[in-house]
Amino acid sequence: MKKLSFVILVMVTLFLTTCSKSGSGVSTPEVSIIGTWKPIKEVDVCSDKSKTESVYDACQLQSRYIFTKEGTINITEYHNTQSGCVITNQSNGTFKINNNTLVTSIDNEVNVNDFLELNGDVLKVGRYENETNNTCSINLLVTHYYTELVRVN
- pLDDT band for 59, please (50, 70, 90 cuts): very high
**Parallel, antiparallel, or unpaired: how do β-strands 51-55 and 72-81 relate?**
unpaired
**Could you read off the pLDDT of 64-81 as tens digits, one per residue?**
999 999 999 999 999 999
pLDDT > 90 in the chain, percent = 58
Give the architecture-level CATH label for domain 2-151: Beta Barrel (2.40)
What's the CA gap between 116 and 108, in Å, rounded?
A: 22
What's the CA gap between 28 and 11, in Å, rounded?
A: 18
Q: What is the pTM of this model?
A: 0.76
Question: Is the separation of the CB atoms in 123 and 35 below 8 Å?
Answer: no
**Could you read off the pLDDT of 138-151 as tens digits, one per residue?**
677 878 899 999 99
Residue 151: phi and psi, rounded to 5, are: -70, 130
pLDDT at 18: 33
Question: Is the separation of the CB atoms in 149 and 37 below 8 Å?
Answer: yes
- 112-128: average pLDDT: 93
